[in-house]
């Protein structure tokens, strides 16, 4: 091998001049264009490569450090990473935003336009996937050795268009032009096996005649703040194996062989767009196993590179399961250790229960994953067998400890026996993990009180809370330059890595000069959003009105419909008293509905119908505007959230596990109107009860009403405004061309109202009046908004990840 002295390369530097050269070189030699032929996309790619070059040294160094220090690493397994755009984030992390901008100006490239050309990496549905992305950012910023593992979906979250008021889904072919941020690593390819048959052989199992797919790694670097370290996000892409099966299938027919190849590559084709509902599809099961098996093979390979066996595996490896989607990692690790590396059961299981940890994200029945035994047994026969074995040993232990409690065995089993037999993935995850956490104080409490109460009797020490957080780099520094600059001018720039420093803003909350500057920053952001909304035809918005914003996935438990009921009521009240002292409001919605979710789609249509009626009513003028902004995604959130005055976080108490949208808004100086749910509660504690609008029944009351018979009609009959709003809806007041359009909405509200909108409606409307009262007093409003920003220190994902690292993973920062 040649001496390292021979292998020399030019480390790029960060001056404007150096960047101008880099971008020019990349345009000519990588993109294959020049100054005259370059399209906007060519410039984007040239800049992308020039910026990527500048994280490479830090990236290699992070990997070398971890290896040299033989550090324990954490592997974050997640079926979703909703990372959004990479370029601006990387320029901020490396501190080259301004120099790149100047270099582009010198080259005559339109910096703002090309930045806006970058497609979002939308490899997630919503909060869960975005959390995973914030976590990688924080791991990199804290210098923690670890990686994210997931799937490189060819199609991410669908793009949403609104046509005649209704959602239309379009495929998100985000890779169509190539993705210059990633590295393909063809040498990191693993065989993933499905189906086949088992042949027992001296205590082990031979797994034969499988259909095979190859998983190939694609790596992206996630740079931490000021390049403290760079974390690898490794996503797996499926490729057909050239092996036996293809031949068996195609019988010499080339075209059919290629078709079969296509089939097996489907496994990484598309992200399932259903947020918090069960899928049950075989392809989804195959996806889950696909990325879990590839990741575990990769983890064991890395371990064996520097260790001679598995004695130390649990001292060097922590594997985190982001929800139950990666729970097949447990039987897969058992299989690899036992069948491929000849460990015995006790040794293998002992390692599993020291290595795995699991985050629960929801208590809702319909969102808890279960797989039919028949399906799992057919697709992954070895894993089904291992799950049965794990269950048998577990139930024996339960029986020994609680010999008289037979109902307990049925409840706690990994297998649901009633009806079609199914594997309970949450039970498997809890049993195999040394720590199980919820994502807010309330959620973690409800988790041990309800779905896992039986497991608490067995393993009380396992359960803990880790309240979610968000990265302040993306959600303040990048998304809100106006406010960031203002904060920098008063407390310096270090809040980006130490968000508790925002507490210093408390002293400025009453200072008129700071208040004015704070309002000005908000106004700039509202202008930015107003310009964006003006691109939607027919929407003219007053940037001085109160921006009242609810943006998140469309779901009944999130209660966008409650918001709409208030809008309708407000509309009626303005019509009744047009000359009262109304605070002009713009009510802004955005969010995608799962394609098969009828109610959620109907609410989108309702919002658009209500918007059409109100926005075109000359009696209303600019007192009330309603806007549905299509295609909610990370890059859009970065523009909408900084512009909000009011943040709507109005889920039925006990249903929103944490929420992270709530944190993004408060960090950007919006006041929250919210229920006593998820992290809203902790936000209220940190910003102070006077600086948040809380309304509605609490979780105990919600449960009590559900238990003793909830009668939505009694609220309807008892509240004039509510009855009026629902009646108008039922009569087609917002859909005159089709009066029955919202019959199902009305029926759900009056007949079942599972999420208890009507119970909270009265208090919600009263609370909205208090919002208006405060907004009429700009000094008091701004003071509260500043105190919200000042109180957000604890909601940095750096705090969250520090807690995971110490309490769960046992991982320390690189030295
Ligand atoms: C933060 C975020 C979410 C989660 O929002 P919630 O209000 O917590 O549900 C969903 N989608 C995107 C694009 C986000 O950035």
Q: Which residues, 6 or more positions from 519, have their beta carbon under 8 angstroms from its beta carbon?
A: 778, 782
Cα gap 17→14, rounded to integer Å: 8
Q: What is the pLDDT of residue 13?
A: 96
Helix H or strand E segment including 189:
strand 183-194
Q: Give me 727's structure tokens.
A: 């009646």
Q: How is residue 337 annotated by DSSP?
A: I
Paired sense of beta strands 422-424 and 370-372, if any: antiparallel
In percent, the amount of the chain with pLDDT more than 90 equals: 93
Q: Is the CB of 472 under 6 A from ligand 1?
A: no
- Please give the Cα distance from 636 to 647 (Å, whole number): 16
CA atoms within a 13 Å half-sphere pointing along the CA-CB vector of 810: 13
Q: Does residue 558 carry a catalytic annotation?
A: yes
Closest by CA to 408, choosing from 398, 418, 416, 417, is 398
DSSP state of 119: P
Active site residue 553: yes
Residue 148 CB less than 6 A away from ligand 1: no
Q: Is 715 exposed, middle or buried (0-12, 13-18, 19+ CB in 10 A)?
A: buried
CA distances, 427 to each of 361, 448, 469 (Å)? 14, 13, 26
Which residue in the list 130, 276, 462, 553 is annotated as catalytic? Answer: 553
- For a pocket test of ligand 1, which of 120, 125, 130 has the largest count of ligand atoms closer than 8 A to its C-beta? 130
**39 is a catalytic site residue:** no
End-to-end CA distance of the chain: 29
pLDDT tens for each residue of 392-411: 999 999 999 999 998 999 99
Residue 422 annotated to the active site: no
Q: What are phi and psi of 326, to 5 degrees?
A: -95, 20
- Lookup: tokens for 750: 């009056």
Q: Which two tokens stand for residue 615?
A: 């926005």
> Is 759's C-beta closer than 6 angstroms to any atom of ligand 1?
no
Whether 661 is in the pocket of ligand 1, judged by its Cβ within 6 Å, is yes
Nearest atom (ligand 1) to Cα of 591: 11
Q: Which of 530, 655, 660, 782 is catalytic?
A: 660
Q: 384-391 — which CB contacts under 8 Å span 24+ positions?
A: 384/423, 385/198, 385/205, 386/331, 386/334, 386/335, 387/331, 387/414, 387/415, 387/423, 387/428, 388/415, 389/345, 390/330, 390/331, 390/334, 390/349, 390/414, 390/428, 390/431, 390/432, 391/415
* Whole-structure pTM value: 0.97
Q: Is the dihedral of CA 327, 333, 339, 345 positive or negative?
A: negative
Ordered by where they begin, the domains of the chain are: 1-68+87-118 (no CATH), 69-85+120-467+802-809 (3.40.50.2000), 525-781 (3.40.50.2000)
Length of the chain (residues): 815
**Measured distance CA(525)–CA(184) in Å, rounded:** 38
Q: Whose CA is nearest to atom 6 of ligand 1?
A: 661
Lookup result for tokens 């908004």: 785
Interatomic CA distance for residues 451 and 367, integer angstroms: 12
Q: Please, are residues 360 and 325 in contact by the beta-carbon 8 Å criterion?
A: no
Joined tokens for residue 143: 């210098």
Question: What's the pLDDT at 707?
Answer: 94
Establish whether residue 637 lines the binding site of ligand 1, counting it when its CB lies within 6 angstroms of any ligand atom: yes
Q: Is 660 a catalytic residue?
A: yes
Ligand 1 centroid to residue 341 C-alpha, Å: 42
Rounded to the nearest 10 degrees, how much is the dihedral formed by the CA atoms of 30, 33, 39, 44?
A: 20
**E strand or H helix at 222, and its extent?**
strand 211-223
Listed in order, strand segments (DSSP E) in 85-176 are 121-123, 146-151, 159-163, 166-170
Which 8-state DSSP code applies to residue 270?
A: B
535-561 in b/e form (b: 16+ CB < 10 A) is eeeebebbbebbbbbbbbbbbbbbbbb
Alpha helices of 467-578 — where are they, by DSSP H?
472, 481-491, 512-534, 560-576
**Alpha carbons 282 and 797: distance in angstroms, whole number:** 34
From the list 191, 182, 165, 51, the residue with the least C-alpha distance to 123 is 182
Ligand 1 atom 8, closest CA? 659
Residue with tokens 């930045």: 115
Could you give the CA distance from residue 89 to residue 83 in angstroms, rounded to a whole number? 10
Please count the CA atoms within 13 angstroms of the CA of 134 that sit on its side-chain side.
28
Element (H, E) at 61: helix 40-68
Burial (CB < 10 A; 0-12, 13-18, 19+), residue 9, is exposed
674 lines ligand 1 (CB under 6 A): no
Instruction: Output the pLDDT for position 244.
Output: 45
For the chain, the farthest-separated pair of C-alpha atoms sits apart, in whole angstroms, at 87
CB distance 636 to ligand 1 below 6 Å: no
Of 549, 638, 660, the one to substitute when testing ligand 1's pocket (max ligand atoms within 8 A of C-beta) is 660
Atom of ligand 1 nearest to the CA of 127: 4
Distance 348 CA to ligand 1 centre (A): 38
Q: Is residue 559 in contact with ligand 1, taking CB distance under 6 Å?
A: no
With tokens 């509905």, the residue in question is: 593
Strand 671-674 with 693-694, pairing? parallel
From the CB of 130, is ligand 1 less than 6 Å away?
yes
Number of Cβ atoms within 10 Å of the Cβ of 168:
13
Q: Which long-range contacts (CB under 8 A, 24 or more apart) does 333-337 make?
A: 333/296, 334/386, 334/390, 335/382, 335/383, 335/386, 336/296, 336/297, 336/300, 337/310
Residue 552 a catalytic site member: yes
**Could you tell me if 584 and 624 are in contact, meaning their C-beta atoms sit under 8 angstroms apart?**
yes
User: Quick one: DSSP state of residue 507?
Assistant: G
49 lines ligand 1 (CB under 6 A): no
**DSSP-assigned beta bridge partners for residue 359:** 322, 437
CA of 799 to the centre of ligand 1 (A): 19
Burial class (CB in 10 A: 0-12, 13-18, 19+), 347: middle
Report the atom number in ligand 1 closest to the C-alpha of 659: 8
| Secondary structure of residue 413 in the 3-state scheme | coil
Taking the CA of residue 470 as reference, the ligand 1 atom at the shortest distance is: 1
Rounded Cα–Cα distance for residues 135 and 644 (Å):
25
Q: Which two tokens stand for residue 192?
A: 């993933």
Measured CA to CA in angstroms, residue 64 lies from 57, 527, 528 at distances of 11, 46, 43
Dig out the tokens for 597 from the structure: 């979710």
Closest-CA residue, ligand 1 atom 7, reads 661
**Distance, CA of 403 to CA of 709 (rounded, Å):** 36
Q: How far is CA 581 from CA 103, 549, 577, 578, 619, in A?
A: 51, 22, 9, 9, 15
Q: Does ligand 1 lie within 6 Å of residue 660's CB atom?
A: yes
Q: Ligand 1 mean position to 471 CA, how many Å?
A: 13
Residue in 661, 665, 679 to alter for ligand 1 test, most ligand atoms within 8 A of Cβ: 661
* pLDDT at position 2: 64
Q: How far apart are CA 128 and CA 689, in angstroms?
A: 28
Identify the active-site residue in 234, 664, 686, 783: 664
CA-based nearest residue to 395, from 383, 373, 382, 410 = 410
487 in helix, strand or coil? helix
SS3 197: strand
Report yes or no: 752 and 712 within 8 Å, Cβ to Cβ.
yes
- Taking the C-alpha atoms of residue 483 and residue 465, their distance in angstroms, rounded to an integer, is 31
Q: Is the CB of 58 under 6 A from ligand 1?
A: no
Atom 5 of ligand 1 has which residue's CA nearest to it?
A: 661
From 320, 558, 559, 592, the catalytic residue = 558
Q: Rounded distance, CA 469 to CA 667, Å? A: 11
Low-confidence stretches of the chain (pLDDT < 70) are: 1-2, 203, 243-252, 257, 278-279
> Going along 383-421, which residue ranges are E strands?
415-416
Q: How far apart are CA 688 and CA 538, in angstroms?
A: 40
Strands 81-84 and 121-123: what pairing?
A: antiparallel
* All residues at 6 or more sequence positions from 787 whose CB lies less than 8 Å from its CB, including other chains: 505, 506, 509, 687, 688, 691
**What atom in ligand 1 is closest to the CA of residue 633?**
13
What distance in angstroms lies between residue 353's CA and the mean position of ligand 1's atoms? 32
Measured by CA distance, the residue closest to atom 9 of ligand 1 is: 552
Helices 778-790, 757-775: axis angle to 10 degrees equals 110
């Amino acid at each position: 091998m040649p001496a390292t002295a021979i292998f020399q390369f030019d480390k790029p530097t960060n001056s404007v001049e150096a960047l101008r050269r880099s971008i020019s070189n990349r345009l000519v030699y990588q993109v294959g264009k020049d100054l005259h032929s370059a399209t906007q996309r060519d410039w984007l790619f040239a800049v992308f490569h020039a910026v990527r070059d500048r994280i490479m040294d830090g990236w290699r160094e992070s990997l070398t450090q971890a290896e040299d220090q033989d550090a324990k690493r954490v592997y974050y397994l997640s079926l979703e990473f909703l990372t959004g755009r990479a370029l601006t984030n990387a320029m901020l992390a490396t501190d080259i935003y301004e120099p790149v901008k100047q270099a582009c100006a010198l080259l005559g490239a339109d910096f703002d336009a090309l930045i806006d050309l970058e497609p979002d990496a939308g490899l997630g549905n919503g909060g869960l996937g975005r959390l995973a992305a914030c976590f990688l950012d924080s791991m990199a910023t804290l210098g923690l050795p670890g990686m994210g593992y997931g799937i490189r979906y060819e199609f991410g979250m669908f793009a949403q268009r609104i046509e005649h008021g209704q959602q239309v889904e379009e495929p998100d072919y985000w890779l169509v032009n190539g993705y210059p941020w990633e590295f393909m690593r063809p040498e990191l390819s693993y065989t993933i096996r499905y189906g086949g048959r088992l042949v027992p052989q001296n205590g082990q199992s031979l797994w034969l005649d499988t259909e095979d797919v190859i998983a190939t790694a694609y790596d992206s670097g996630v740079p931490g703040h000021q390049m403290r370290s760079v974390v690898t996000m490794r996503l797996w892409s499926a490729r057909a194996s050239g092996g036996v099966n293809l031949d068996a299938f195609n019988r010499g027919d080339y075209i059919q062989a290629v078709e079969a190849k296509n089939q097996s590559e489907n496994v990484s084709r598309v992200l399932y767009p259903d947020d918090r509902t069960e899928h049950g599809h075989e392809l989804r099961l195959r996806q889950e196993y696909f990325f879990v098996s590839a990741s575990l093979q990769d983890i064991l390979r890395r371990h064996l590179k520097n260790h001679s066996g598995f004695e130390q595996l649990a001292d060097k490896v922590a594997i985190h399961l982001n929800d139950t989607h990666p729970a097949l990692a447990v039987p897969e690790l058992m299989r690899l250790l036992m069948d491929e590396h000849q460990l015995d059961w006790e040794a293998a299981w002992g390692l599993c229960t020291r290595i795995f940890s699991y985050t629960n994200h929801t208590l809702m029945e319909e969102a808890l994953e279960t797989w039919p035994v028949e399906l799992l047994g057919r697709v992954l026969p070895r894993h089904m067998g291992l799950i049965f074995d794990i269950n048998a040993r577990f139930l024996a232990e339960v029986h020994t400890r609680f010999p008289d409690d037979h109902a307990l065995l049925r409840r706690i089993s990994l297998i649901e026996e009633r009806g079609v037999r199914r594997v309970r993935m949450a039970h498997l995850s809890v049993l195999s993990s040394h720590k199980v956490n919820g994502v807010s104080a309330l959620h973690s409490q409800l988790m041990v009180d309800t779905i896992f109460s039986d497991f608490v009797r067995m393993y009380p020490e396992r359960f803990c809370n880790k309240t979610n957080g968000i990265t302040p780099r993306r959600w303040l520094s990048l998304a809100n330059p106006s406010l960031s600059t203002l904060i920098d001018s008063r407390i310096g720039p270090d809040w980006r890595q130490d968000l508790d420093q925002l507490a210093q803003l408390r002293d400025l909350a009453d200072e008129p000069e700071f208040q004015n500057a704070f309002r000005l920053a908000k106004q700039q952001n509202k202008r930015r959003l107003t310009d964006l909304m003006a691109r939607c035809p027919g929407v003219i918005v007053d940037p001085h009105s109160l921006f009242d914003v609810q943006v998140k996935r469309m779901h009944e438990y999130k209660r966008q419909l409650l918001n709409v009921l208030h809008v309708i009521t407000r509309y009626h009240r303005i019509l009744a008293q047009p000359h009262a002292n109304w605070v002009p409001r713009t009510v802004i919605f955005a969010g995608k509905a799962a394609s098969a979710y009828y109610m959620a789609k109907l609410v989108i249509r309702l919002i658009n119908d209500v918007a059409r009626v109100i926005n075109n009513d000359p009696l209303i003028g600019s007192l009330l505007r309603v806007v549905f902004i299509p295609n909610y995604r990370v890059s859009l959130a970065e523009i909408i959230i900084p512009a909000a005055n009011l943040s709507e976080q109005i889920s039925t108490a006990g249903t929103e596990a944490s929420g992270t949208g709530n944190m993004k808004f408060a960090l950007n100086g919006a006041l929250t109107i919210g229920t006593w749910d998820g992290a809203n509660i902790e936000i209220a504690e940190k910003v102070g009860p006077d600086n948040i609008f809380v309304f509605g029944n609490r979780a105990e009351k919600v449960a009590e009403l559900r238990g003793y018979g909830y009668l939505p009609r009694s609220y309807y009959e008892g509240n004039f405004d509510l009855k009026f709003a629902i009646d108008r809806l039922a009569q087609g007041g917002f859909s005159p061309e089709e009066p029955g359009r919202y019959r199902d909405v009305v029926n759900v509200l009056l007949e079942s109202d599972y999420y208890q909108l009507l119970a909270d409606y009265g208090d919600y409307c009263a609370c909205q009046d208090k919002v208006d009262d405060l907004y009429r007093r700009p000094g008091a409003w701004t003071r509260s908004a500043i105190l919200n920003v000042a109180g957000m220190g604890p909601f940095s994902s750096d705090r969250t990840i520090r807690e995971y690292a110490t309490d769960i993973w046992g991982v320390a920062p690189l030295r």
